[in-house]
Amino acid sequence: MALPVRARHHFGHEMLPALMESGTYAVDPEPRGGPWIPWDEVGEEGAAALGVFAPVYSLFSGPPGAVVVAPGDVRGTVLIPGHDGYCLGLDGRDGPNLACEECGRPVATRLDDCSIWQAVWLNPIAVRRVPGPAPRITDWETVVEEGHSTPPVEQPGRWSPQWEAAAGVALAHLLVASAGARVSLPGGLATDMFGRALDALLPPGRPARTLALTGPGLPASGADIALVPVHPQTGETWQPPGSPATVPLPADVWLGLAFPEDLSRLPVTGGLPHGVERDDPLPLRPGWTFRPDRHLLLYTLARLPAVREPWLRRLYLHLRNPTNFRVF
């Protein structure tokens, strides 16, 4: 599968579910694991060679290509004693914490602490992938027809952490596509996701560009910027006709935007008056304004070459200041 955008996401102070579905795996193309190298030691040119185009606090020095799987899919490993976490589990702060049961060599890092999506990251130096049958790649029509959409509110009073993570990454691409000008949003959930942040980050004035939800099963919009799905297996971004600038969203979040599920219960006969909702069950409503994930916004912006443009560089440096993130 494509590496989920929430792989680098931390959320709240609670136990999160597994990052990957059982029977699937993903590969992280970027370096992973310590020791950390401070920005001052790497330098601007060295960081650009690693695909980082704006100042960050530090960079990983570990090898790229780590494979992530669900914790329950791992066999033949044992925990290495002496490893710890921040709160309720393991967070990988001490390096690999799983060893091969037979030889004792460290082979992986298990993450299951609070605020972290549970996963096992296999060290690409210690393990290898054995070729098997080529997986069947699902076409876009099937992704829409059979794909699982993640609802924006999964628990009473709380926006979905998957949506907040996806919005953080998408907002970075949306800022680049805006070229620093106001963007007209299509309303509804898309405005909930991006409206408040864009109002704070882009200059006032009449919108110069338009954003529309575009993808398989939706008609072409003709907008300047298209909010499109990312294929859950290949990681490829849907390419709309007309070649507008594209802003990627994970397929499950995009499906929740494009084809929201109505899970409300209705009477067996008759109907409800307009504007009246049943109170069994109570409709899920968020308890606060939607906030794109700031960490993923900065992480993504730093890895987009467009961040070297003066206006976006100033905005990036502004957002790095902890006192300037009230919008999040």
pLDDT at 198 over 70: yes
Rg of the chain in Å (alpha carbons)? 21
Give the Cα separation of 277 and 285 in Å (integer): 13
Beta strand pairing call for 66-69 and 119-122:
antiparallel
Distance of CA 118 to the CA centre of its chain: 15
Mean pLDDT (whole number) for 104-114: 94
Instruction: Write down the residue that tokens 């060295």 correspond to.
Output: 46
pLDDT at 327 over 70: no
Give the Cα separation of 230 and 180 in Å (integer): 24
Q: List pLDDT tens digits, range 49-89.
A: 999 999 999 998 888 999 999 999 999 999 999 888 888 88
216 prior amide bond cis, ω within 30 = no
Which pTM value belongs to this model?
A: 0.90
Distance of CA 150 to the CA centre of its chain: 13
Q: List pLDDT tens digits, range 8-20.
A: 998 888 889 999 9
